[in-house]
Amino acid sequence: MKRVLYAALLPLLFCSLVVKAQQPRPDTVAAQKWVSQAFKKLSRRQKIAQLMVMRLSEKRGNNAVFFTDDVEQLINKYKVGSVCLFQGNAVQQAMVLNQLQQKSKIPLLVCIDGETGVGMRFGDVKPFPDQLTIGATGDAAIAYHTGNAIAQQCKRVGIQVNYAPVVDINNNPDNPVINFRSFGEDKYKVALYGSRIMQGMQDEGIMACAKHFPGHGDVSVDSHLDLPVIQKSIQQLDSLELYPFKTLIKQGVGSMMVAHLYIPAIDTTRNQAASLSKKNVTGLLRNELKFNGITFTDALEMKGVAKFYPAGEAAVQSLIAGNDMLCLPADVKGSIKKVRKAIRHNKLSWDDINQKVKKVLLAKYNLGLDTLKAIDTLNIAADLNKDIEPIKKEVYSNAITLVTQADSALMPLKTSGKIAYVGLGLERANHFADRLQQAYNADCYYLSYKDSNEKAETLLKQIGDHYQTIIIGLHKYTKYPAKNFGISNAAVNVLHQLQTKPNALGIVFGNPYAIKNMVDARNLVAAYEDDSLMHDVAADLLAGRISARGMMPVTVEKFNYGTGITTSIYVPLVQSQMIGLDSIALNKIDSVAGNAIAKGATPGCVVLIARNGKVGLYKAYGSLSYDVKEKVTRQTVYDLASVTKISATNVSVMKLYEEGKLNLNKTLGDYLPWVRGTDKAGLKLTDVLLHQAGLVSFIPFYRETIDLKTGTPKPGFYRAQPSATFGIRVADNMYMRNDWVDTIKKRILTSKLGAPGKYVYSDNDFIFLGKVVEQITGLTLDEYVRQTFYLPLGMTSTTFKPLEHEPLNLIAPTEKEKLFRLQQLRGDVHDPGAAMFGGVAGHAGLYSNAYDLAKLYIMLLNGGELNGVRLFKKETIDFFTAYHSDISRRGMGYDKPEKDNATSKAPYPTLSASPLTFGHIGFTGIGVWADPKYDLLYIFMSNRVNPDGGDNNKLSSLNVRSDIQEAIYQSIFRTEKAAIPKPVVAAKPVPKLRSTSNRAVKK
């Protein structure tokens, strides 16, 4: 069961120390009893020591030195509360922890500084990818998987707190301390990916720690060596640096690490780090941002603090500031002495200390330390390494980025023709060079950063003009930017000489900021890491076995954030005339869209037109809302509303039908056990697909849970924070009781059933069908469609629950709901019923941008295949998209034109749509129509329900969608008419003129 951890004083969900997860345990009488008993065992000195985190080891030369005896003495004498793991192998760490936990009468809270998992510290465990590499991927679900795997490692080795994720925004390329440890420079992506890593860890019972508050990304000084200064206003900090921290606080991060930064806008006390500032910790973090969890200082042994607050002064000031835990104080005895002195001088009080100690003890209890178990050392290193390679492969294959491509013929690499590989930073062949030699018999050249300019010149002469393709690999440079990442001038000279050659392809294996050395490269790949697994991914990319999917998480010189040429299932974008569209006729679309926005039909929209498998028009108009001037872009993700029915549920039904797993002549009762014994059991799937099974159109499930006079939720149905029993998110800070889903299903089962054979468009039809898909496949609907359709087609933005996948700024807001959820909805599904199913339902909940959604329908227009990926037989598509009812215009799940469209006073969806057309419209302002006769796809996306919901009907009354669709057809007809050759008419003979005098001319 998935679990979420919140701030330490709130009800928490937890797991046991080592292997098996405990059931969720709130702040109960048992918890308070345990805390009280532990608290009574502590003397005053020991209470202060409970707030200290001690270093357990450090690296000296090539060896790890453990301070086991020193820490044990501190445990015996002062009962220090926590230890932090650093260097050493897995068995060593486990054995030392077992020894110390056995000696400690009050269990130690075990922490690790493990942004890339325990492999960041353990010598015999490989690290997970850097956060910047994860930031290059296009799906935050990958961050969640990584966080989950890191948590499993922590549990296995007896760790309860991981000082991760880093949610600093790296907006300074020369940052000497954050850099590749950040997810990137975009605050929305940093916030999203940070929250997903955090949730991945906390869902497995490991407390995450967001760092380094209030933001360490824009510095040029390493706080390990000195105190960095950030000269920004509060407004600047609030709009950028604080954004990810505010997001993680809202998402329930368990702890926060406060940075050693001097920020005069927050506190003008000279040379006082933010970690020691009461205005920062208590004023900003606690009071303004409402963070109630555990706060850790950054290491107090760092020069950024120790330089100005030596010998225990830093510990005192940290507690005065409002911190709970003192990380790595240099002198425990001296710090305790200084804290007691501060209490005597009324700078602190014992009430302050007691409150913090009880808070830490409660966190220990809730993290499972009341039932401490010894760590099993058998196979521990193997267990810690087991998930790393699959996670790395997932991250790497989604992160690798085609930054620029002047010659598409370079990928895939041809086996014919001579290939040279130039490995810069190498003394000999590495795994990537071996792959190139094996696959292409490449000639390999190596230049280490110790080699001379003379050797570099010799290498260039050897390469000359003898090769059809030159691959340049930049390897083994340092991760931080000092001294150009350690790349030698000789290597830079080789780069400059080779990168501009038209047959050269550069691959940068490591920190992408090093791309500044290759800004003139005609063909360039960012590979982010330099290990054998990334070498395999890069080699597979060159061979055409995988596609480039990543995007630059930071700006490097002329390559802006988000740069990346995606080669996965690429639908070409061409000029409109290349696909038979008259560009002049298409100009009407601009005026229709502009008029719709001007008259308040929608704040903005996106229009996409494709023919013959190519996109000929893809334009964004207007803003995401009327009051916030965020512009709509082509990447904007919209709530598809009822287009979910055909884009998720119906294609799933088609797939299962084609595979013989679903029979349309069977009934709901044949597939859904919970329907049996009701009057819905005998409903035939064919009738359900055609909306003529007799089901009511919709049921306002939410009405039972709110006060109808005020619109506010009734007590007992929702909580502001998720828990074991309130785990269904319906909106921001609103989680529904889990068991209410059964009530919703019961309401559908007991709803009045109409006479069969009558057409009634119903959401309930597709709620049932979504459940049928889940029952047959054993997967949730969102998991099934993602695996079966969206990922194979490269539809990365097409997803349910978009807040788990997409940065918030890419998602269009919908209604500002005045009943039920009482908030601006953005990323939470607009449809209330779908929201009460947790955002995943057969009738609504899907989100997408227009380009990704187009891939699904171009595949259907292509007869079930797109770019070599076949998902359907043509016969299946033809069957489902044909008319199937004598009483309506419906196909099997699909909407279609009226059968009398040509003579109708109100043609639908537009006059010129052929009878082969299939598609759907969505309540939020969506329209998708595919016409096989013209091999035409039209997608219209808008958020017309922003902000007033369904009351705004101008999109329909102004005929916006249909007028644009008709303009498309007229552009086709105009092109076709222009292409018809005119009949040749014989010219009449011209009579010969006689001599033309002036008189003759006048006559």
Catalytic residues: 224, 298
CA atoms within 13 A on the CB side of 178: 31
Pair 877, 864: CB distance under 8 Å: yes
Whole-angstrom distance, CA of residue 425 vs CA of residue 508: 11
Pair 128, 149: CB distance under 8 Å: yes
Whole-angstrom distance, CA of residue 384 vs CA of residue 128: 11
In this structure, what token pair is assigned to residue 275? 């970690």
Whole-angstrom distance, CA of residue 308 vs CA of residue 312: 11
Residue 129: strand, helix, or coil: coil
Q: Which residues on neighbouring strands pair with residue 325, listed in sequence order?
A: 296
Alpha helices in 421-544 (DSSP H): 431-440, 453-463, 482-485, 489-498, 532-543
Whole-angstrom distance, CA of residue 80 vs CA of residue 298: 17
Q: Write the CB contacts of 474 (distance below 8 Å, at least 6 apart in sequence).
A: 424, 425, 487, 491, 495, 506, 507, 508, 509, 510, 514, 517, 518
Residue holding tokens 């696959």? 439
Q: Which residues on neighbouring strands pair with residue 865, listed in sequence order?
A: 870
Sign of the C-alpha dihedral computed for residues 854, 924, 921 and 962 taken in this order? negative
Residue holding tokens 């000082």? 163
Question: Which of 265, 260, 267, 271 minimizes the C-alpha distance to 296?
Answer: 260
Sign of the C-alpha dihedral computed for residues 551, 553, 556 and 562 taken in this order? positive
β-bridge pairing 638-639 and 718-719:
unpaired
Whole-angstrom distance, CA of residue 199 vs CA of residue 928: 35
Whole-angstrom distance, CA of residue 708 vs CA of residue 710: 6
Bond into 214 cis (ω within 30):
yes
AA letter at 380: I
Q: Which residues on neighbouring strands pair with residue 213, listed in sequence order?
A: 258
Whole-angstrom distance, CA of residue 508 vs CA of residue 510: 6
Whole-angstrom distance, CA of residue 760 vs CA of residue 750: 17
In degrees, to the nearest 5, what angle opens at C-alpha 362 toward C-alphas 358 and 368?
150
In degrees, to the nearest 5, what angle opens at C-alpha 344 toward C-alphas 343 and 347?
45
Pair 530, 475: CB distance under 8 Å: yes
Alpha helices in 464-614 (DSSP H): 482-485, 489-498, 532-543, 583-598
In this structure, what token pair is assigned to residue 222? 């390493």
Whole-angstrom distance, CA of residue 994 vs CA of residue 1001: 11
Q: What are phi and psi of 921, to 5 degrees?
A: -120, 155
DSSP letters of 737-773?
Answer: -TTHHHHHHHHHHHSPP--TTS----HHHHHHHHHHH
Q: Residue 564, exposed/middle/buried by CB under 10 A (0-12, 13-18, 19+)?
A: buried
To the nearest 10 degrees (0 to 180), the angle between helices 187-202 and 141-156 is: 40
Residue 706: strand, helix, or coil: strand
